[in-house]
Structure 1
């Protein structure tokens, strides 16, 4: 029975993941390199605006701020697309009952499909983070607020956040019957942690007298402000994300057990 379950997990993993993570990783690395090449070519006024708006200093910090957004988007939406294909599409096509007619529990079905997707998103984010560390190296040194280790660590923080958000996304997708609804939920979920940074850009006065709150929730700039702590934060964030993913799968299995298949 264990051999059958292992083979089942392999088959489901291939179906759920497919080629998208590899394509996303290649595209993501291309975006990281392109960003590092393009941003130095922009007018100095653009760099100065971003430095003032996000309270950062130096071209390296400007580049990293954009790289972190790219890591977050690619890692999250790669996983979100795969989750919708794995969980929402069968319900749309009315094939979910047939898939669960095998002697496989709903818990096994969920873990076999979702687990590989979360792992693939982690690989995409981690790969982009490593390349980000390489491309930012020329902008480090004396007087710079960024470092290679800090860039990689911060990238891992965004990777962990993407995995954690995907784990949360699993729960509503178990109930959704339309891919467009799933996409709207995914986009709204991704926007939530980005909102404080948008507030810093458009309404910085709201953070006046609230420096500690700003340092805590303005994701992206805060990792540049505390670059030295980023490597450790990256490792801790991944641990928290994996624990959170396990918890979300356990909760998702309970929700799935009570969900009507039609």
Structure 2
């Protein structure tokens, strides 16, 4: 029975993943390298604007800010695409009843489809973070306000955030019947944590007298402001993210076990 279940999980993993993780990984690595090469070629006024807008200093900080967004983007939307393919398309194609007619529980079906997507997304983020540590090295050293440890740690923090959001995304994806609806929900979830950062860019006056709130909410720049504390913050974030991901998956599993399939 265990051998059969392992074989079933392998089949579901191959179906859910396909070439998506490899493509996401290659595109992610290229994005990290391309950003590090491209940003120094921008006109100085553009770099100065970004420094003033996000309260950062130096080319290394400007590069990292863009890299963080890239990691968050690739990990989340690569995973969201896999989840939509694994959970929404069978219901949209009216094939979910047939898939669940096998002698397996709904929980086993859900974990067999969701687990590989989450692990692949996590792997993409980890590799991108490590590559980021390599490309940022020329901008570190004595007097620099960025570090390799801070860059890798921040990349892992964004990876953890993206994976937790993917776990939360499982819940609404179990309820929708259309891939476009699932994509719109995914985009809304992705953009929500970035809204405070956009506020800093367009309405910085809203943070006047609220420095602690700004430091807490402005995701991306705050990891550059407190670069030295990022390695310690990374450990805390990973622990909290693990609990959050587990809770979201438990909720999704219980919903799926009780949900109507129509």
TM range, smaller chain:
over 0.9
1:12 and 1:60 map into 2 onto residues whose CA distance is 42
- Provide the residue aligned with 2:119 in structure 1: 119
- Structure 2 equivalent of residue 247 of structure 1: 247
Q: Which residue does 2:173 correspond to in 1?
A: 173
How far residue 232 of structure 1 moved from its aligned partner, in angstroms, is: 2.4
Q: Is the 8 A contact 1:40 1:59 kept in 2?
A: yes
Matched, 1:102 2:102: yes
The one-character-per-residue Cα deviations of 1:71-106 (angstroms, maximum 9, x if unpaired) are 000000000000000000000110000000001111
- Are the counterparts in 2 of residues 156 and 235 from structure 1 also a CA contact under 8 Å? no
Distance in 2 separating the partners of 1:167 and 1:90: 19
Separation (CA, whole Å) in 1 of partners of 2:45 and 2:141: 23
Give the equivalent residue in structure 1 for 2:195. Answer: 195
Q: How far off its partner does 1:164 sit?
A: 0.5
- Paired with 2:246 and 2:106, the residues of 1 have a C-alpha distance of 16
Aligned-residue RMSD, C-alpha: 0.9
Q: CA deviation at 1:240?
A: 2.3
- Given that 2:168 and 2:249 are in contact with CA atoms closer than 8 Å, whether structure 1 keeps it comes out as no
Match of 2:184 in 1: 184
1:9 and 2:9 correspond: yes
Q: Distance in 1 between matches of 2:148 and 2:213?
A: 27
Counterpart in 2 of 1:21?
21
2:90 equivalent in structure 1: 90
**TM-score w.r.t. structure 1 length?**
0.98
- Structure 2: unaligned runs, 5 residues or longer: none
Instruction: Give the Cα separation in 2 of the matches to 1:66 and 1:192.
Output: 18
For 1:131-170, list aligned pairs within 5 A: 131-170=131-170
Tell me the equivalent position of 1:44: 44
Shift of 1:192: 0.5
Match of 1:225 in 2: 225
Tell me the number of residue pairs that the alignment of Structure 1 and Structure 2 aligns: 262
Return the alpha-carbon distance in structure 2 between the equivalents of residues 234 and 84 of structure 1.
29
In the alignment, the residues of structure 1 paired with residue 7 and residue 233 of structure 2 have an alpha-carbon distance, to the nearest angstrom, of 36
Moved more, 115-124 or 5-14: 5-14
Q: Aligned partners of 1:112, 1:87: CA distance in 2, in Å?
A: 11
Determine the C-alpha separation between the residues in 2 that align with 1:261 and 1:126. 36
C-alpha displacement at 1:2, in angstroms? 1.7
Q: Is the 8 A contact 1:110 1:249 kept in 2?
A: no
- For the residues of structure 1 that align with 2:70 and 2:92, how far apart are their CA atoms? 30
Match of 1:235 in 2: 235
Secondary structure, in 3 states, of the residue corresponding to 2:101? coil
Deviation at 1:239, TM superposition (A): 2.7
